[in-house]
């Protein structure tokens, strides 16, 4: 199979797939400023919680890359803080963004105790590269742990994109499928189109076709009927933030899919790295939900589909209660019937 590298460091810039160009063309963009990374995150050129975290780490380095090698350490640390705060404002829901920035800030302070500005900058680039490489290894482990869970099933429904293009490489929800294909298992994937930005039809279907995995795109409002017709054996999705009790925020529409799966007695799984868990939030009701511009609904992809001046409610995410989740698949293992005690154990 061919895995698409979503982003990687290329000499003096971040090279990444511009996902707004999919599926018509696979375009790589080179970004050499912090502002460019902020815009890429905000405009959804890069998306998916792990990939956003990866991009933010490189964005922080780009924000200080041109700082003088012999400059003041104190001034550099201040610039690190300001850059992190700036990048943190790009999107509010995906916790990996804040996790990566906190890790970069902590690393800068650690190195400052034994080196100058040049050493701090060098260490920040190395830390950003380490975050990306850990993402690849983590997603592979999610695939290894998740394949035995999905192995009894053949037809898998997913919502939005939690494949390789949402991470550095393998993905989260699609990782068990990729591992299974490598081992000779035959899967067929049903991909919800994922309104209003169509990440399922534009991105999930694109990368599965690239990997020669059978995929069928269906409208979001078709998923429940597909379950009723016996076309779906299991559901697996990713997550942008998971609360300490197992409630999981994912792309808007996921909650409805989970309800439909529950009604049809179809197992519903979430796949995510430990970095996606927010152990400070007791329940999903505390997860901040991003609301995006109404034009994404009324003028999707440049065509007007609603009357001028109509009110629009356009949350980017919803929260699926833990009681609807059969298991959460992580790099540390599989958490069956997630609850507060089981989830908090992952933090140890």
CATH of the domain at 340: 3.40.50.10470
Q: Are strands 241-243 and 7-9 parallel, antiparallel or unpaired?
A: unpaired
Look at residue 240 and tell me whether its pLDDT is greater than 80.
Answer: yes
- The residue length of the chain stands at 348
Among residues 121, 138, 155, the one where a domain terminates is 138
In a domain, 102, yes or no: yes
How far is C-alpha 286 from the geometric centre of its chain's CA atoms? Answer: 19
Residues 98 and 154 occupy one common structural domain:
no
> Residue 62 belongs to a domain with what CATH number?
1.20.120.420
Residues 265 and 246 occupy one common structural domain:
yes
Among residues 118, 138, 158, the one where a domain terminates is 138
Within 10 angstroms of residue 134's Cβ, the number of other Cβ atoms is: 16
Catalytic residue among 220, 240, 247, 278: 240
- What's the confidence (pLDDT) of residue 1? 55
Q: pLDDT band at 2, cuts 50/70/90? A: low
Under a CB-based contact definition with an 8 Å cutoff, are residues 191 and 31 in contact? no
Q: How many helices (H) and strands (E) does the chain have?
A: 12, 14
Instruction: Report the percentage of the chain scoring pLDDT > 70.
Output: 99
- What's the confidence (pLDDT) of residue 272? 96
Active site includes 240? yes
In a domain, 1, yes or no: no
Helix (H) or strand (E) holding 336: strand 333-336
Both tokens of 325, joined, read 């989740």
pLDDT tens, position by position, 162-202: 999 999 888 999 999 999 999 999 999 999 999 999 999 99
Among residues 138, 172, 198, the one where a domain terminates is 138
pLDDT tens, position by position, 121-158: 999 999 999 999 999 999 999 999 999 999 999 999 99
**What is the side-by-side strand order in the sheet with 327-330?**
215-218, 188-192, 155-158, 234-237, 268-271, 327-330, 333-336
Residues 22 and 41 occupy one common structural domain:
yes
In a domain, 2, yes or no: no
Summarize the confidence of residues 293-314 as an average pLDDT. 96
pLDDT tens, position by position, 245-292: 999 999 999 999 999 999 999 999 999 999 999 999 999 999 999 999
- Number of domains within the chain: 2
Rg value, the chain, Cα: 20
User: What DSSP string describes 172-231?
Assistant: SSSHHHHHHHHTT---EEEEE--TTTTHIIIIIHHHHHHTT--EEEE-GGGHHHHHHTT-
Model pTM? 0.91
Residues 169 and 204 occupy one common structural domain:
yes
Range of the domain at 327: 144-345
């Amino acid at each position: 199979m061919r895995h698409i590298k979503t982003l990687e460091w290329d000499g003096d810039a971040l090279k990444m797939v511009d996902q707004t160009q999919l599926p018509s063309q696979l375009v790589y963009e080179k970004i050499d400023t912090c502002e460019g990374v902020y815009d890429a995150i905000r405009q959804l050129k890069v998306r998916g919680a792990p990939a956003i975290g990866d991009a933010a780490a490189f964005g922080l380095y780009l924000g200080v890359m041109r700082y003088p090698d012999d400059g003041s350490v104190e001034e550099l640390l201040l610039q690190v803080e300001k850059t992190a705060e700036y990048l943190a404002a790009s999107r509010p829901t995906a916790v990996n963004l804040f996790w990566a920035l906190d890790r970069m800030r902590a690393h800068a302070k650690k190195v400052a105790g034994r080196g100058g500005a040049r050493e701090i900058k060098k260490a920040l680039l190395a830390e950003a590269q380490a975050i990306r490489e850990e993402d690849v290894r983590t997603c592979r482990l999610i695939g290894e742990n998740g394949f035995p869970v999905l192995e009894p099933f053949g037809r898998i429904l997913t919502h939005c994109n939690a494949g390789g293009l949402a991470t550095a490489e393998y993905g989260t929800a699609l990782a068990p499928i990729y591992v299974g294909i490598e081992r000779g298992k035959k899967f067929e994937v049903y991909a919800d189109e994922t309104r209003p930005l169509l990440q399922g039809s534009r991105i999930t279907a694109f990368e599965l076709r690239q990997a020669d995995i059978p995929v069928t795109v269906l409208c979001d409002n078709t998923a429940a009927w597909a379950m009723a017709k016996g076309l779906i054996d299991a559901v697996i999705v990713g997550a942008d933030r998971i609360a300490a009790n197992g409630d999981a925020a994912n792309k808007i529409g996921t909650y409805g899919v989970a309800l439909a799966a529950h009604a049809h007695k179809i197992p519903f799984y979430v796949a995510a790295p430990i970095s996606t868990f927010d152990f400070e939030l007791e329940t999903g009701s505390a997860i901040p939900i991003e609301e995006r511009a109404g034009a994404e609904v009324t003028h999707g992809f440049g065509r007007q589909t609603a009357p001028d001046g109509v009110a629009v409610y356009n949350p980017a995410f919803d929260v699926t209660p833990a009681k609807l989740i059969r298991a959460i698949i992580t790099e540390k293992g599989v958490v069956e019937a997630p609850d507060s005690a089981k989830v908090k154990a992952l933090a140890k």
